Amino acid sequence: MPEHAQRVTPAAGALRASVATVVLAAWIAAMPGPASGQEVRTPARDAATSIAPPSALTAADHPNDDGTAIDLTWRPSPDDSPKKKPRVVRAYKIFRSLPSGAERDELAQVAYKVSKYTDRTCEPGVDYQYEVVAVGAQGSQSAPARLERPVRGVLQWFDGSRAWFGLILLFVCGSVVVFTELVKSGRGTYIREIAGLTAIQEAVGRATEMGRPCLFIPGIRDMNEVATVAGITILSHVSKIAADYDAIIEVPTSRSLVMTAARETVQAAYLSAGRPEAYNEDRIYYVTEEQFAYVAYLTGYMVREKPAACFYAGIFFAESLILAETGNSVGAIQIAGTAEAAQLPFFVAACDYTLIGEELFAASAYLSGEPHQLGSLKGQDAGKVLAGLVLFAGSLVATAAALAPEWSVATDALNFLTNSLLGRGGPG
């Protein structure tokens, strides 16, 4: 490059820079400024800092419990007001940590306007630190409200939150005792008739007229089951009617103890009927404990002997439909009773009468006439009446609280039912 070009180039570059600077300054000066009295806008604050935090957070050991609960209360955020539209505070989050700040976990999130919570996941004797933050739109949060000092749960001698449960238990148990004493004195013995029991006499009478046997199956479980005991009680009633009508009763069993109990029961029934000579213990026998081998024998007996009446009372499983369908195919009158809910549909579909669920136990108490069984049955009925009243009252109160949330009486009553009467006491 020529020498004079090297001397001219730096000067030209400086001249161009000076011209650009002058033009830029003139353009900035020519821009219009804010009008008189016009506010200069500043950037908006971060949404997380725009929510006022809750305050006055306090914590105390939940009274009369096992030391696993701590009650928290706080003053809601000043922004938690229905007058602010749209609503600023949407919820409150509760955090718990150790005093050192370790193991900080979110416990729960409660709705706006709520200012208390009970933490029921504590360990007795362990110090905890709590924080509560207000939550706004899009998950924005306020500064946290913290406890001044840690708090711990203390194990108490008595759990007062179960006081109402104790009163209900006392009412039910007291009802059983009262009705038992009434039955012993000859009063309060009325129990409504059960259709399946009234049909037993008809079924045994039909078997007598046709000269065919009555088949009684006491289930496939042993005597340690309450349902089996109830079935043996029904067997006693059937045996008395069979003894009166001079009918044949066949009792094949799948357990040796059930066989022994059935023999003694039937023998006592024949003796009370004044016909001990008609009792035949060979009609009450043990078959096998194998479920479907036992069922195969029973179905074969039904097809061969064609009993006119079949009774099923006890615990049944998959064999229920097989037995009921076979009995139905031979034209027998069938009366069944079981507490196994899964087998009830099969008995209902294929049998003439079915004792559903607890009707089996009610029938046992009704037939035995034993004061303790009758008193227990009627005492349980008193408990069911109480439960029905509580459910009815709860439905009314919940409906009123939903339709009129500003009505504090309904809200307080609902809290009492759910947290004190049916719950563990206190919110949270």
What is the pLDDT at residue 31? 53
Instruction: Tell me the one-letter amino acid at 230.
Output: A
In a domain, 38, yes or no: no
Question: CA-to-CA distance for 134 and 142, rounded, in angstroms?
Answer: 5
Q: How confident is the model at residue 228 (pLDDT cuts 50, 70, 90)?
A: very high
Asked whether the predicted pLDDT for residue 49 surpasses 60, the reply is: no
What is the pLDDT at residue 413? 87
In a domain, 20, yes or no: no
Asked whether the predicted pLDDT for residue 7 surpasses 60, the reply is: no
Q: Are residues 336 and 407 in the same domain?
A: no
Q: Is the dihedral of CA 317, 249, 363, 286 positive or negative?
A: negative
Averaged pLDDT for residues 113-129: 91
Helix (H, G, I), strand (E, B) or coil at 354: strand
Asked whether the predicted pLDDT for residue 423 surpasses 80, the reply is: no
What is the pLDDT at residue 45? 39
What is the pLDDT at residue 27? 53
* Percent of the chain surpassing pLDDT 70: 86
Q: Are residues 172 and 202 in the same domain?
A: no
The region that residue 51 occupies, defined by phi over 0 for left and psi between -120 and 50 for alpha, beta otherwise, is: beta
Question: CA-to-CA distance for 24 and 22, rounded, in angstroms?
Answer: 6
| Mean pLDDT of the chain, nearest integer | 85
* Percent of the chain surpassing pLDDT 90: 58
In a domain, 7, yes or no: no
Residues 6+ away with beta carbon under 8 Å from 394: 414, 417, 418, 422
What is the pLDDT at residue 11? 46
What is the pLDDT at residue 10? 47
In this structure, of 29-38, 102-111, 329-338, the range with the lowest mean pLDDT score is: 29-38
Q: Are residues 262 and 274 in the same domain?
A: yes
Q: Are residues 219 and 250 in the same domain?
A: yes
Question: Greater confidence, 43 or 163?
Answer: 163
Question: CA-to-CA distance for 225 and 227, rounded, in angstroms?
Answer: 5
Asked whether the predicted pLDDT for residue 178 surpasses 80, the reply is: yes
Q: How confident is the model at residue 16 (pLDDT cuts 50, 70, 90)?
A: low
Neighbouring C-beta atoms of residue 55, cutoff 10 Å: 12
In a domain, 144, yes or no: yes
Task: Record the pTM.
Answer: 0.62
What is the pLDDT at residue 298? 97
Q: Are residues 345 and 254 in the same domain?
A: yes
What domain range is 300 assigned to?
A: 195-368
What is the pLDDT at residue 26? 52
Short-list 255, 68, 244, 275, CA closest to 154: 68
Q: Are residues 180 and 306 in the same domain?
A: no
What is the pLDDT at residue 30? 54
Q: Are residues 217 and 148 in the same domain?
A: no
pLDDT 10s digits, 336-381: 999 999 999 999 999 999 999 888 888 888 887 788 888 888 888 8
In a domain, 18, yes or no: no
pLDDT 10s digits, 52-72: 999 999 999 988 888 888 999
Both tokens of residue 332?
């027998």
In a domain, 64, yes or no: yes
Question: Greater confidence, 333 or 377?
Answer: 333
Question: CA-to-CA distance for 373 and 254, rounded, in angstroms?
Answer: 27
Q: Are residues 348 and 243 in the same domain?
A: yes
Q: Are residues 64 and 81 in the same domain?
A: yes
What is the pLDDT at residue 428? 46
Neighbouring C-beta atoms of residue 414, cutoff 10 Å: 18
Question: CA-to-CA distance for 172 and 387, rounded, in angstroms?
Answer: 11
Short-list 46, 16, 10, 266, CA closest to 142: 46
What is the pLDDT at residue 83? 80
Q: Are residues 171 and 132 in the same domain?
A: no
In this structure, of 78-82, 103-107, 192-196, the range with the lowest mean pLDDT score is: 192-196
Question: CA-to-CA distance for 267 and 242, rounded, in angstroms?
Answer: 12
Averaged pLDDT for residues 140-149: 91
Top mean pLDDT of 37-51, 169-183, 295-309 is at 295-309
The residue out of 368, 385, 406 marking a domain boundary is 368
In a domain, 32, yes or no: no
pLDDT 10s digits, 83-101: 888 888 999 999 999 998 8
DSSP string, 178-206: HHHHHHHTT-S------HHHHHHHHHHHH
Q: How confident is the model at residue 165 (pLDDT cuts 50, 70, 90)?
A: confident
Q: Are residues 218 and 323 in the same domain?
A: yes
CATH number of the domain enclosing 217: 3.40.50
Q: How far apart are the first and last CA of the chain?
A: 88
CATH number of the domain enclosing 88: 2.60.40.10
Averaged pLDDT for residues 130-155: 91
What is the pLDDT at residue 82? 81
Averaged pLDDT for residues 145-150: 92
Asked whether the predicted pLDDT for residue 4 surpasses 70, the reply is: no
What is the pLDDT at residue 40? 34
Domain count, the chain: 3
Q: Are residues 139 and 177 in the same domain?
A: no
In a domain, 426, yes or no: no
Asked whether the predicted pLDDT for residue 139 surpasses 90, the reply is: no
